[in-house]
A = this chain, B = another copy of it.
């Protein structure tokens, strides 16, 4: 009997380990492979021979791992060379797989990982090596094409929605409340910021404004909108994606960085703080708070989505099953077969179609003013998270 191997790549999520355990348990049930190996720190680790045998661990350890956030097999940012540039790494990797009698390789990750999966698959085929390569989708950004959504997104959306609701209440307790800005991740796409709209009181989004990278951000219009809303309600709640850009495509956060001192601003982020400064500077109010959720979005297992945990597990489970059908160079996808009730099925798509592609938040799901999302977006988002608590306050 032959073996298989699984590895993780790219940024962590709360549920990425569930995919590994889904695959592990599928193998336990189907007895498809003798051993389930894991490559630590992705491709980079495998190239260094950093391989463990998951089947040597107890069920208790595997079950703890299932509900552990972050990439518990370690991750890497390693991108393999193009095949026409050099095949050295490919040969080395395939030699390691052959030496371990591995017939199936599973890579859990986003676009770059699907690129790697596609390249490895192509090279194995070209060189007549019978190893199956299958990708398992993972990213909180929800920006992979050809899948309804990605495992990892639901839990990030859950944490964002809960946090928006809670911080909205926290920022509403005084008679003279200020302006609250919550900054989400999402360098290229607005899926995460849009999840802020799921936070509702009395059937209405508590966020007054939601800004996504898919629509050019205009500072003048922003300040006008905030001024008007603040006059109307004496309080404004804003959700903003870290990746909002001006009409020339320049990150708003970079405009800030340019104006700031030169060190410590290398990483994206801080657009919330920049909007805060703009609001204070415009004299709207001095009571402005900005909160950047940061990496908590991708690791807050304490606030994960039940459906996301289930689907991440199932994506791994299905990947193992698909590896037995002879398909190679594909990624598992989730298809939404029904929205009410929410039902899904699993399918496959060529990994190279997913690689180097980005699924943007649909522009017709953004309102005309470009400062909130449309109801059909909420319909899409709602089944991906567990129900939010119903809160009751008396001061509103």
Contacts and interface: CB of A to CB of B under 8 A. Distances in A.
Please state the number of chain copies in the assembly.
2
A378 interface: no
Contact of A68 (B38, B54, B391): B391
A289 interface: yes
A321 interface: no
A273 interface: yes
A299 B41 contact: no
B263 A70 contact: no
A303 B295 CA distance: 17
Nearest to A169: B70
B289 A291 contact: no
A76 interface: yes
Contact of A280 (B8, B263, B392): B263
Interface string A158-176: 0000110011011111110
A294 B301 contact: no
A143 interface: no
Nearest to A396: B74
Interface in A1-40: 8, 12, 38, 40
A339 to B, nearest CB: 25
Contacts of A299: 166-167, 169-170
Interface in A34-72: 38, 40-41, 44-45, 52, 54, 61-62, 64-65, 67-72
Contacts of A77: 174
Interface string A257-274: 000110110110000010
Given A64-B390, A166-B302, A40 B395 contact: yes
